[in-house]
Amino acid sequence: MDKVKIQEDLAIIKQIMQESRQRVTNIGINLVVWGGIVIICLLFTYYSKSHESIISEALIWGIGISLGWAFELRLYIKSKKKNHDSTFSGNILSRLWLTILISMMIMGVFGEISGAVSRGAGSGVIAVLLAIGYIVTGTIMNSGWVKLLGIGWWIGTILIFYSSVIQSVLIWVVLMIALQFIPGIVLLVQEKKKSLIA
């Protein structure tokens, strides 16, 4: 191949990536909905643990996770009905977050139920998975502040590893509010502004 052909191919790839970045949508709503669900489940878990409540953690998280998956299914059906054309970046992000979500479910449900993973270790690994998701998402979106959220999750992981179970629940609440729920709202506002301009 000659240099001109290589440069043309690279320019086309660069243009596709830039167009894909501009059209990545629906990230904010996922962060807000999942963040809200997890925050509510964590608060119920904290209450259950600190007050020796009869509310089962399995029930709390079972309902929360079911609501989250119902939301994902609704969003998927809605996007198929609207016949959204997906972008390369959008496909990567969708698969990345779906993979992370399934991995967190496996770790949190089967890992802890089987006893193969302790609660503290499972919580820390789940936080590390979120860090990966945010850093890759920030890279694809070309957003430095989204990448910084991933670093925040790494720091949170360290705090989780050095805390008691009850303290780690409170740390998770703070992390979810600061590093997922509020950033999700910011991304939602940015997405709305983009859609009004377009």
Q: Quick one: CA torsion of 87, 88, 89, 90, rounded to 10 degrees?
A: 40
Q: Is residue 7 part of a domain?
A: no
Domain with 82, as residue range(s), is 27-184
* Secondary structure (DSSP) of 43-69: HHHHHHHHTT-S--HHHHHHHHHHHHH
Q: Is residue 113 part of a domain?
A: yes
Q: Is residue 169 part of a domain?
A: yes
Q: Is residue 161 part of a domain?
A: yes
Residue 62 has what pLDDT? Answer: 93
Q: Is residue 54 part of a domain?
A: yes
Q: For the chain, what is the radius of gyration of the CA atoms?
A: 19
Q: How many domains does the chain have?
A: 1
Asked if residue 86 has pLDDT above 90, the reply is no
Split at pLDDT 50, 70, 90, the class of 26 is: low
Phi, psi of 54 (to 5 degrees): -85, 0
Q: Is residue 20 part of a domain?
A: no
Residue 150 has what pLDDT? Answer: 97
Q: Is residue 132 part of a domain?
A: yes
Residues 95-141: tens digit of each pLDDT: 999 999 999 999 888 888 888 888 778 889 999 999 999 999 999 88
Q: What is the pTM of this model?
A: 0.85
User: Could you tell me which residue, 193 or 152, shows the higher pLDDT?
Assistant: 152
Q: Is residue 192 part of a domain?
A: no
